[in-house]
Amino acid sequence: MSRAASVSQRIVARVMRDARTRAGKTAADASARAGFAQGTLSKYERSENPFPVSVVYRLADYYGLTPEDRDKLCDLAGQKALGWWHVYREIPDWFASYVAFEAEAEQLQSCENTTIPGLLQTADYARALLSADVDAGTPEQIENQVEVRIQRQERLVGENPVHLSAVFDEVALHRQAGEPDVMRHQLESLLEQSQLSNVDLRVLPFDAGVHTASENSFMIMKFPNVIAGVDFVDVVYVEYKLGSLYLEDEAETSGFSRVFERLQEVALDPEQSVKLIQRIMDERYA
């Protein structure tokens, strides 16, 4: 997914592909109806090229969608505005793609092993983490990354906040990033964020032993349904040093969902997690 691509376009592609299948229309039938080559339709359905509004309108009727659903899809297909993150040119394309997904998700399930999840980090904590990276870049580039991380957190508040379920290892509470007061402020912020009704925060304690995601951090992103009966698949994001992976195949994403459910089972519940965070803050960062 390129920096300029829209998650809305991906949703349109998925819904249109599913609508065609449900209507019993072949790709050859649909492309002939639209007046272009079958390969062109394939590119639209794979999100390689965005669906033109005129094509969505014509094929939605052909697939038997209601005028209301057709108009919803046309509105999505016509969305051209770039997201707020596009002003930060130093942000790599692979991460800009993630921010685009995150901006439209309705549920996020985060698993982190060694650090506090990005959506729960304070600016000073994020700055300390980024500065420790040997490839962090200039101070200005680091500040841009911090700004992006903090602006992303606006999804947790407001009129229609995203629901965040976060599970992270206890080591993140002990591994100091920055000065002690940076860590204390970070843990205080976690305690505040844990009170949000849309945040489910759980800590994997040391005594939980080796767990099912001991070697992996990942994010599962779930999206709202645009049309009843047509689901937009979950997207799993796995980041590594030089880039990231985006998994959309249900056989792969369902495995991550099972892993996350297991992690929630073995982690401390939200109330116990808050008590652990408070105890570590008092003992180590008083």
pLDDT 10s digits, 134-167: 777 788 888 988 999 999 999 999 888 999 999 9
| 139 Cβ contact list (under 8 Å, min separation 6) | none
**DSSP code, position 284:** H
Tokens matching residue 209: 């032993």
Domain 7-77 top-level CATH class? mainly alpha
List the one residue out of 43, 66, 44 whose CA is nearest residue 55.
44
pTM: 0.80
Q: Does the pLDDT at position 232 exceed 80?
A: no
Q: Domain boundaries in the chain?
A: 7-77, 85-284
Q: In what order do the strands lie in the sheet with 107-112?
A: 199-204, 163-169, 107-112, 218-222, 235-240, 243-247
C-alpha 250: how far from chain center: 16
- Tell me what the mean pLDDT of segment 270-276 comes to: 97
- Residue 3 banded pLDDT, cuts 50, 70, 90: very low
- Please calculate the CA angle 232-236-238 and round it to the nearest 5 degrees: 155
Q: Are domains 7-77 and 85-284 of this chain identical in fold?
A: no
List the one residue out of 267, 32, 275 whose CA is nearest residue 169.
267
Mean of all residue pLDDT scores within the chain: 87
Q: What is the pLDDT of residue 88?
A: 66
Domain 85-284 top-level CATH class? alpha beta
Distance CA 74, CA 204 (A): 44
Distance CA 265, CA 202 (A): 10
C-alpha 104: how far from chain center: 8
- Residue 89 banded pLDDT, cuts 50, 70, 90: low
Distances (CA, A) of 181 to 21, 120, 122, 140, 252: 57, 17, 12, 23, 41
- Residue 101 banded pLDDT, cuts 50, 70, 90: confident
End-to-end C-alpha distance for the chain, whole angstroms:
45
- Residue 230 banded pLDDT, cuts 50, 70, 90: low
